[in-house]
Structure 1
């Protein structure tokens, strides 16, 4: 179930969201919603009982594994943003 939430943002915050959304190729409202979900997801975890935390941890740990890439990767934000922009702009046809 989803709900519609109307927010009033100052110009500085709106511009920052708009720029970041444009850089990664998503609508500003999607970026804002994703950010809020991530932030409140972390807060919600603090409210879980120990048993619920253990269940969640077990579900998460099922995804653990090894990753072996044939190339080195760079995990800084600017590099990631550049890669995302390139991928969103690509039509993925063989060159």
Structure 2
């Protein structure tokens, strides 16, 4: 569910939001809504009791290991081996 909220901002705040929104290619109202959701999402999380946090954590952890691709994948392949060698290399020649 979403709700329409009309805000009145001073010029400075609006310009900052507008410039940031343009830089990432979204409308300023979407950026403002996202910023509010992020900020108040954090506040909401801090208001949860320990029991509620534990319930949410358990609900999240139920998804661990739940991936079913319905086909076999081979993780031991040449590309992965090349990546391991590349990450382990210190790139020193000699």
Same fold (TM over 0.5): yes
Provide the residue aligned with 1:24 in structure 2.
24
CA distance in 1, matches of 2:58, 2:26: 32
Matched residue SS, 2:15: helix
Matched residue SS, 1:22: helix
Matched residue SS, 2:41: helix
CA distance in 2, matches of 1:18, 1:2: 22
Scaled by the length of structure 2, the TM-score of the pair is 0.60
CA distance in 2, matches of 1:24, 1:36: 17
Structure 1, unaligned runs of 5 or more = 64-69, 71-95
Q: What is the aligned-residue RMSD (CA, Å)?
A: 2.6
Residues 23 and 60 of structure 1, relative CA distance in 2, 3 Å threshold: farther
The answer as to 2:6 corresponding to 1:6 is yes
Between Structure 1 and Structure 2, whose CA radius of gyration is higher? Answer: 2
Question: Higher relative CO (CA 8 A, sep ≥ 6), structure 1 or 2?
Answer: 1
Structure 2, unaligned runs of 5 or more = 65-82, 84-94
Q: 4+ residue stretches of structure 1 with deviation over 6 A?
A: none
CA distance in 2, matches of 1:20, 1:12: 12
Provide the residue aligned with 1:55 in structure 2.
55
Aligned residues: 67
